[in-house]
Every structure is written in C-alpha cells, then in structure tokens.
C-alpha cells in the first residue's frame, strides 16, 4: 500500500489539537504556565463560532505550536502540555 505524505502526527495525552479547521483568535496561556484539565488554553473561530479549546490534562504548557491570527487545519497540534 502507498503511504500518503502528511503532516507529522504529534500525539499523546497532552497534545492539544484543533477539532475543526479555523482561526486562532486568542492564546490564553504561555509556555511554562500550569494548567488544569478543562482550563481554556486558546480560542479559535470555526464556522462563524468561537470555540474554546480546553486542556485535556493537568500539567505545564511545554510548547505552543501556533500563533494568534493563524489559520489551522483539523487535527493540527496547537500546543503540548506535560
């Protein structure tokens, strides 16, 4: 079977990914911040609605992979929490 070239998949419990394609309108955390499960880490606009993106786990923001006003794709990793 042929493998399709794709964006490298970063996965794991602490990877926060976009549920829908959209525009990052606000990043509410910075690298090194402690977050709790369910905390809003960023907001994105998708299909004319603002969606709150929440932390899936308790931890520390290790890396932010996107910027405000950046368009993102579905399943694109946005940030990593460890």
For the whole model, what pTM was predicted? 0.82
What's residue 5's pLDDT? 46
Neighbours of 61 (CB within 10 A): 21
% of the chain residues with pLDDT over 70: 87
What's residue 12's pLDDT? 77
What's residue 6's pLDDT? 47
Yes or no: say if 81 and 60 are a contact pair by the CB < 8 Å rule: yes
Both tokens of residue 24? 């990052």
- Residue 7 banded pLDDT, cuts 50, 70, 90: very low
Contacts of 68 (CB under 8 A, 6+ apart): 24, 25, 26, 27
């Amino acid at each position: 079977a042929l493998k399709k070239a794709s964006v490298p998949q970063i996965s794991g419990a602490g990877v926060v990914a976009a549920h829908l394609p959209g525009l990052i309108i606000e990043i509410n955390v910075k690298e090194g911040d402690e977050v709790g499960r369910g905390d809003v880490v960023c907001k994105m606009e998708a299909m004319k609605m603002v969606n709150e993106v929440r932390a899936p786990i308790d931890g520390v923001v290790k890396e932010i992979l996107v910027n405000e006003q950046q368009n993102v794709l579905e399943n694109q990793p946005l940030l990593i929490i460890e």
